[in-house]
Amino acid sequence: TMPEDKNAKTVDIDTSGPEVDVELEDTSKPESEVIETVEQEAAPKAEKPSDAKVATESQAASTSPQEASDENKTQKDELEDYSKDVQRRIAKLTKKWREAERQKEEALNFARIQKEEKEATLKKYSSLEGASVKDREARIAAGLLAARAKLAEARNNQDLNAEIDAQRDIARLGYEEARLMEAKSAIESMPQETKKVETPNINLNRSVEPTLKADPKAEAWGAKNKWFGSDSAMTYTAFDIHKKLVDEEGYDPQTDEYYAEIDKRIRLEFPHKFDKNATTETTKPVQVVASAKRSTKPGRKTVRLTPSQVAIAKKLGVPLEEYAKQLNITKEV
Protein backbone atom coordinates (compact mmCIF):
# COMPACT_ATOMS: atom_id res chain seq x y z
CA THR A 1 0.00 0.00 0.00
CA MET A 2 1.11 3.59 -0.69
CA PRO A 3 1.83 5.76 2.32
CA GLU A 4 -0.71 8.33 3.17
CA ASP A 5 -0.04 11.92 2.73
CA LYS A 6 -0.95 13.60 5.94
CA ASN A 7 -1.23 16.92 4.31
CA ALA A 8 -3.36 15.67 1.39
CA LYS A 9 -6.97 16.68 1.28
CA THR A 10 -9.58 13.92 1.88
CA VAL A 11 -11.97 12.98 -0.91
CA ASP A 12 -15.24 11.12 -0.30
CA ILE A 13 -15.18 7.72 -2.05
CA ASP A 14 -18.01 5.23 -2.34
CA THR A 15 -16.90 2.11 -0.31
CA SER A 16 -20.12 0.16 -0.44
CA GLY A 17 -19.03 -2.47 -3.04
CA PRO A 18 -17.62 -6.04 -2.41
CA GLU A 19 -13.95 -6.77 -1.76
CA VAL A 20 -11.67 -8.12 -4.58
CA ASP A 21 -8.42 -10.03 -4.24
CA VAL A 22 -5.68 -9.19 -6.83
CA GLU A 23 -2.52 -11.28 -7.24
CA LEU A 24 0.69 -9.36 -8.01
CA GLU A 25 4.03 -10.68 -9.23
CA ASP A 26 6.86 -10.30 -6.71
CA THR A 27 9.55 -8.19 -8.49
CA SER A 28 11.49 -7.19 -5.42
CA LYS A 29 15.23 -8.09 -5.24
CA PRO A 30 17.52 -8.60 -2.30
CA GLU A 31 18.74 -5.39 -0.69
CA SER A 32 22.39 -6.17 -1.38
CA GLU A 33 21.79 -6.49 -5.11
CA VAL A 34 19.90 -3.22 -5.20
CA ILE A 35 22.78 -1.39 -3.52
CA GLU A 36 25.30 -2.89 -5.90
CA THR A 37 23.28 -1.89 -8.90
CA VAL A 38 22.85 1.64 -7.65
CA GLU A 39 26.58 1.95 -7.01
CA GLN A 40 27.38 0.67 -10.48
CA GLU A 41 24.97 3.08 -12.06
CA ALA A 42 26.21 5.99 -9.94
CA ALA A 43 29.91 5.44 -10.84
CA PRO A 44 30.77 7.31 -14.06
CA LYS A 45 32.12 5.26 -16.86
CA ALA A 46 35.61 6.20 -18.08
CA GLU A 47 35.26 7.39 -21.65
CA LYS A 48 37.80 5.91 -23.99
CA PRO A 49 39.30 8.58 -26.21
CA SER A 50 38.74 8.09 -29.88
CA ASP A 51 41.62 7.65 -32.30
CA ALA A 52 40.67 10.84 -34.26
CA LYS A 53 40.71 12.95 -31.14
CA VAL A 54 44.09 11.59 -30.10
CA ALA A 55 45.49 12.31 -33.57
CA THR A 56 44.13 15.88 -33.55
CA GLU A 57 45.62 16.62 -30.15
CA SER A 58 48.92 15.12 -31.22
CA GLN A 59 48.96 17.21 -34.41
CA ALA A 60 48.05 20.36 -32.45
CA ALA A 61 50.84 19.66 -29.99
CA SER A 62 53.31 19.11 -32.84
CA THR A 63 52.32 22.23 -34.91
CA SER A 64 52.00 24.81 -32.13
CA PRO A 65 55.77 25.48 -31.76
CA GLN A 66 56.14 25.93 -35.55
CA GLU A 67 53.27 28.43 -35.71
CA ALA A 68 54.68 30.32 -32.75
CA SER A 69 58.10 30.43 -34.44
CA ASP A 70 56.59 31.76 -37.71
CA GLU A 71 54.67 34.44 -35.84
CA ASN A 72 57.78 35.52 -33.96
CA LYS A 73 59.72 35.66 -37.23
CA THR A 74 57.02 37.82 -38.84
CA GLN A 75 57.07 40.24 -35.94
CA LYS A 76 60.86 40.34 -36.08
CA ASP A 77 60.81 41.14 -39.82
CA GLU A 78 58.28 43.91 -39.25
CA LEU A 79 60.46 45.40 -36.52
CA GLU A 80 63.53 45.22 -38.77
CA ASP A 81 61.66 46.96 -41.63
CA TYR A 82 60.46 49.68 -39.30
CA SER A 83 63.95 50.10 -37.88
CA LYS A 84 65.42 50.43 -41.39
CA ASP A 85 62.79 53.01 -42.33
CA VAL A 86 63.55 55.00 -39.19
CA GLN A 87 67.27 54.83 -39.92
CA ARG A 88 66.70 56.09 -43.47
CA ARG A 89 64.65 59.01 -42.20
CA ILE A 90 67.28 59.84 -39.59
CA ALA A 91 70.03 59.68 -42.23
CA LYS A 92 68.02 61.95 -44.55
CA LEU A 93 67.39 64.51 -41.81
CA THR A 94 71.04 64.33 -40.75
CA LYS A 95 72.13 65.00 -44.33
CA LYS A 96 69.85 68.04 -44.59
CA TRP A 97 71.10 69.34 -41.27
CA ARG A 98 74.74 68.93 -42.29
CA GLU A 99 74.08 70.65 -45.63
CA ALA A 100 72.44 73.57 -43.83
CA GLU A 101 75.38 73.78 -41.44
CA ARG A 102 77.81 73.70 -44.37
CA GLN A 103 75.97 76.52 -46.16
CA LYS A 104 75.86 78.52 -42.96
CA GLU A 105 79.59 78.00 -42.44
CA GLU A 106 80.35 79.07 -46.02
CA ALA A 107 78.25 82.19 -45.60
CA LEU A 108 80.01 83.05 -42.36
CA ASN A 109 83.40 82.46 -43.97
CA PHE A 110 82.42 84.71 -46.86
CA ALA A 111 81.30 87.41 -44.45
CA ARG A 112 84.50 87.04 -42.46
CA ILE A 113 86.63 87.34 -45.61
CA GLN A 114 84.71 90.42 -46.72
CA LYS A 115 85.14 91.93 -43.28
CA GLU A 116 88.87 91.21 -43.24
CA GLU A 117 89.33 92.65 -46.72
CA LYS A 118 87.47 95.80 -45.80
CA GLU A 119 89.42 96.17 -42.57
CA ALA A 120 92.66 95.65 -44.50
CA THR A 121 91.62 98.32 -46.99
CA LEU A 122 90.77 100.76 -44.22
CA LYS A 123 94.04 99.98 -42.49
CA LYS A 124 95.92 100.43 -45.75
CA TYR A 125 94.39 103.81 -46.45
CA SER A 126 94.28 105.01 -42.86
CA SER A 127 97.82 106.30 -43.36
CA LEU A 128 96.51 108.63 -46.05
CA GLU A 129 95.22 111.07 -43.47
CA GLY A 130 97.06 114.30 -42.98
CA ALA A 131 100.41 114.87 -44.64
CA SER A 132 100.50 111.48 -46.40
CA VAL A 133 97.42 112.39 -48.45
CA LYS A 134 99.00 115.63 -49.58
CA ASP A 135 102.24 113.85 -50.46
CA ARG A 136 100.46 111.32 -52.62
CA GLU A 137 98.30 113.95 -54.27
CA ALA A 138 101.44 115.94 -55.10
CA ARG A 139 103.13 112.87 -56.55
CA ILE A 140 100.13 112.05 -58.75
CA ALA A 141 99.82 115.65 -59.91
CA ALA A 142 103.50 115.76 -60.82
CA GLY A 143 103.19 112.48 -62.67
CA LEU A 144 100.23 113.77 -64.66
CA LEU A 145 102.08 116.92 -65.65
CA ALA A 146 105.05 114.88 -66.81
CA ALA A 147 102.84 112.48 -68.75
CA ARG A 148 101.00 115.33 -70.46
CA ALA A 149 104.26 116.94 -71.47
CA LYS A 150 105.44 113.60 -72.79
CA LEU A 151 102.23 113.22 -74.78
CA ALA A 152 102.52 116.70 -76.27
CA GLU A 153 106.10 116.02 -77.30
CA ALA A 154 105.16 112.67 -78.83
CA ARG A 155 102.42 114.28 -80.90
CA ASN A 156 104.76 117.00 -82.10
CA ASN A 157 107.26 114.34 -83.15
CA GLN A 158 104.45 112.10 -84.51
CA ASP A 159 105.81 109.24 -82.41
CA LEU A 160 102.91 106.80 -82.04
CA ASN A 161 104.61 104.50 -79.51
CA ALA A 162 105.58 107.39 -77.25
CA GLU A 163 102.04 108.74 -77.49
CA ILE A 164 100.60 105.39 -76.41
CA ASP A 165 103.03 105.22 -73.47
CA ALA A 166 102.10 108.73 -72.38
CA GLN A 167 98.39 107.93 -72.61
CA ARG A 168 98.94 104.80 -70.56
CA ASP A 169 100.71 106.82 -67.86
CA ILE A 170 97.93 109.42 -67.85
CA ALA A 171 95.26 106.73 -67.54
CA ARG A 172 97.10 104.95 -64.74
CA LEU A 173 97.69 108.14 -62.76
CA GLY A 174 94.12 109.25 -63.31
CA TYR A 175 92.86 105.95 -61.97
CA GLU A 176 95.12 106.24 -58.91
CA GLU A 177 93.86 109.77 -58.34
CA ALA A 178 90.24 108.60 -58.50
CA ARG A 179 90.91 105.81 -56.01
CA LEU A 180 92.69 108.24 -53.73
CA MET A 181 89.70 110.58 -53.77
CA GLU A 182 87.31 107.70 -53.02
CA ALA A 183 89.45 106.54 -50.10
CA LYS A 184 89.65 110.05 -48.71
CA SER A 185 85.88 110.48 -48.94
CA ALA A 186 85.27 107.14 -47.22
CA ILE A 187 87.66 107.93 -44.38
CA GLU A 188 86.36 111.47 -43.89
CA SER A 189 82.71 110.38 -43.87
CA MET A 190 83.35 107.67 -41.30
CA PRO A 191 83.11 108.76 -37.64
CA GLN A 192 86.43 108.43 -35.87
CA GLU A 193 84.97 106.52 -32.95
CA THR A 194 83.09 103.95 -35.05
CA LYS A 195 85.55 102.67 -37.62
CA LYS A 196 84.85 99.08 -36.76
CA VAL A 197 83.40 97.06 -39.59
CA GLU A 198 80.33 95.06 -38.73
CA THR A 199 79.84 91.60 -40.14
CA PRO A 200 77.28 91.79 -42.94
CA ASN A 201 73.96 90.19 -42.16
CA ILE A 202 73.50 87.40 -44.68
CA ASN A 203 70.05 85.88 -45.00
CA LEU A 204 70.45 82.18 -45.79
CA ASN A 205 66.74 81.80 -46.50
CA ARG A 206 66.44 84.50 -49.07
CA SER A 207 64.89 83.38 -52.28
CA VAL A 208 66.74 83.60 -55.56
CA GLU A 209 65.35 86.32 -57.78
CA PRO A 210 63.93 85.03 -61.07
CA THR A 211 66.10 85.55 -64.13
CA LEU A 212 65.02 88.59 -66.11
CA LYS A 213 63.80 87.88 -69.61
CA ALA A 214 65.82 89.34 -72.45
CA ASP A 215 64.43 92.42 -74.17
CA PRO A 216 63.21 91.49 -77.68
CA LYS A 217 64.44 94.83 -79.01
CA ALA A 218 67.90 94.19 -77.56
CA GLU A 219 68.00 90.71 -79.09
CA ALA A 220 66.93 92.04 -82.49
CA TRP A 221 69.50 94.84 -82.33
CA GLY A 222 72.27 92.41 -81.34
CA ALA A 223 71.35 90.05 -84.18
CA LYS A 224 71.46 92.92 -86.67
CA ASN A 225 74.83 94.26 -85.47
CA LYS A 226 77.19 91.30 -85.78
CA TRP A 227 80.10 93.36 -84.51
CA PHE A 228 78.56 93.55 -81.02
CA GLY A 229 80.48 91.15 -78.81
CA SER A 230 83.08 90.25 -81.44
CA ASP A 231 84.72 93.67 -81.90
CA SER A 232 85.89 94.71 -78.43
CA ALA A 233 86.49 98.38 -79.30
CA MET A 234 83.03 98.85 -80.83
CA THR A 235 81.39 96.86 -78.04
CA TYR A 236 83.00 98.95 -75.27
CA THR A 237 82.09 102.12 -77.13
CA ALA A 238 78.49 100.93 -77.40
CA PHE A 239 78.39 100.37 -73.65
CA ASP A 240 79.78 103.84 -73.07
CA ILE A 241 77.16 105.34 -75.40
CA HIS A 242 74.46 103.38 -73.59
CA LYS A 243 75.59 104.76 -70.22
CA LYS A 244 75.54 108.33 -71.51
CA LEU A 245 72.14 107.96 -73.17
CA VAL A 246 70.47 106.42 -70.13
CA ASP A 247 72.23 108.10 -67.19
CA GLU A 248 72.96 111.54 -68.61
CA GLU A 249 70.51 112.17 -71.43
CA GLY A 250 67.47 110.31 -70.11
CA TYR A 251 66.82 107.86 -72.94
CA ASP A 252 64.56 104.89 -72.32
CA PRO A 253 66.55 101.75 -73.27
CA GLN A 254 63.39 99.97 -74.39
CA THR A 255 62.45 102.39 -77.17
CA ASP A 256 63.31 102.54 -80.85
CA GLU A 257 64.74 106.06 -80.42
CA TYR A 258 67.35 104.67 -78.03
CA TYR A 259 68.61 102.06 -80.51
CA ALA A 260 68.49 104.54 -83.39
CA GLU A 261 70.68 106.95 -81.42
CA ILE A 262 73.16 104.18 -80.60
CA ASP A 263 73.38 103.26 -84.30
CA LYS A 264 73.93 106.89 -85.25
CA ARG A 265 76.66 107.50 -82.69
CA ILE A 266 78.46 104.21 -83.30
CA ARG A 267 78.63 105.06 -87.01
CA LEU A 268 80.16 108.42 -86.14
CA GLU A 269 82.74 106.75 -83.89
CA PHE A 270 83.63 104.04 -86.41
CA PRO A 271 82.77 105.37 -89.87
CA HIS A 272 85.31 103.11 -91.56
CA LYS A 273 83.39 100.08 -90.28
CA PHE A 274 80.22 101.11 -92.14
CA ASP A 275 80.87 103.62 -94.92
CA LYS A 276 84.30 104.82 -95.96
CA ASN A 277 82.80 107.99 -97.42
CA ALA A 278 80.88 108.90 -94.27
CA THR A 279 81.69 112.19 -92.62
CA THR A 280 82.76 112.42 -89.00
CA GLU A 281 80.90 115.54 -88.02
CA THR A 282 79.39 115.51 -84.56
CA THR A 283 75.67 115.64 -84.01
CA LYS A 284 73.69 117.32 -81.31
CA PRO A 285 71.66 115.14 -78.96
CA VAL A 286 68.08 114.61 -80.07
CA GLN A 287 65.56 116.41 -77.90
CA VAL A 288 62.69 113.93 -78.46
CA VAL A 289 63.19 111.36 -75.71
CA ALA A 290 60.73 108.72 -74.66
CA SER A 291 60.22 108.37 -70.92
CA ALA A 292 63.00 110.87 -70.28
CA LYS A 293 64.12 111.28 -66.70
CA ARG A 294 66.40 114.27 -67.32
CA SER A 295 66.55 116.92 -69.97
CA THR A 296 69.52 117.07 -72.30
CA LYS A 297 72.26 119.24 -70.88
CA PRO A 298 73.17 122.05 -73.30
CA GLY A 299 76.77 122.85 -74.08
CA ARG A 300 78.12 119.36 -73.30
CA LYS A 301 81.56 118.64 -74.64
CA THR A 302 82.14 115.34 -76.39
CA VAL A 303 85.58 113.75 -76.40
CA ARG A 304 85.94 111.10 -79.06
CA LEU A 305 88.10 108.09 -78.34
CA THR A 306 89.64 106.13 -81.17
CA PRO A 307 89.27 102.34 -81.20
CA SER A 308 92.85 101.99 -80.01
CA GLN A 309 92.22 104.42 -77.16
CA VAL A 310 89.10 102.52 -76.11
CA ALA A 311 91.02 99.25 -76.20
CA ILE A 312 93.85 100.74 -74.12
CA ALA A 313 91.43 102.13 -71.52
CA LYS A 314 89.65 98.81 -71.16
CA LYS A 315 92.90 96.91 -70.98
CA LEU A 316 94.08 99.17 -68.16
CA GLY A 317 90.73 98.87 -66.39
CA VAL A 318 90.17 102.62 -66.50
CA PRO A 319 86.60 103.94 -67.00
CA LEU A 320 86.14 105.49 -70.44
CA GLU A 321 84.81 108.69 -68.92
CA GLU A 322 87.91 109.11 -66.76
CA TYR A 323 90.15 108.23 -69.69
CA ALA A 324 88.38 110.78 -71.90
CA LYS A 325 88.64 113.39 -69.15
CA GLN A 326 92.40 112.91 -68.89
CA LEU A 327 92.73 112.88 -72.67
CA ASN A 328 90.83 116.16 -72.90
CA ILE A 329 93.11 117.72 -70.27
CA THR A 330 96.12 116.54 -72.24
CA LYS A 331 94.80 118.09 -75.44
CA GLU A 332 94.45 121.43 -73.68
CA VAL A 333 98.08 121.41 -72.52
Q: pLDDT tens digit string along 218-277?
A: 888 888 888 887 777 788 788 889 888 888 888 888 888 999 999 999 888 888 877 654
Distance CA 99, CA 204 (A): 12
75 CB-contact burial (10 Å; exposed 0-12 / middle 13-18 / buried 19+) = exposed
Domain boundaries, the chain: 216-302
Distance CA 211, CA 198 (A): 31
User: Does residue 293 carry a pLDDT above 70?
Assistant: no
User: Does residue 43 carry a pLDDT above 70?
Assistant: no
How confident is the model at residue 131, as a pLDDT?
Answer: 60
Pair 175, 322: CB distance under 8 Å: yes
How confident is the model at residue 209, as a pLDDT?
Answer: 42
- Of 290 and 33, the one with more pLDDT: 33
What global pTM score does this model have? Answer: 0.25
How confident is the model at residue 260, as a pLDDT?
Answer: 92
| Half-sphere exposure for 228 (CA within 13 Å, toward CB) | 15
User: Does residue 313 carry a pLDDT above 50?
Assistant: yes
User: Does residue 145 carry a pLDDT above 60?
Assistant: yes
8-state DSSP, 317: T
Percentage, residues of the chain above pLDDT 70: 59
Nearest to 252 by CA among 286, 293, 312: 293
pLDDT 10s digits, 90-139:
888 888 888 888 888 888 888 889 888 888 777 765 655 656 777 888 88
| Band of pLDDT at residue 215, cut at 50, 70 and 90 | confident
Choice among 78-82, 120-124, 201-205 with the minimum mean pLDDT:
201-205
Q: How far is CA 90 from CA 78, 87, 95, 100, 142, in A?
A: 18, 5, 9, 15, 70
User: Does residue 1 carry a pLDDT above 70?
Assistant: no
- Of 309 and 225, the one with more pLDDT: 225
How confident is the model at residue 261, as a pLDDT?
Answer: 92
Distance CA 283, CA 285 (A): 6
Q: Which string of DSSP letters, residue by residue, matches 202-220?
A: --TTPPPPPPPPPPHHHHH
Continuous segment of H or E residues that includes residue 66? helix 51-125
User: Does residue 291 carry a pLDDT above 50?
Assistant: no
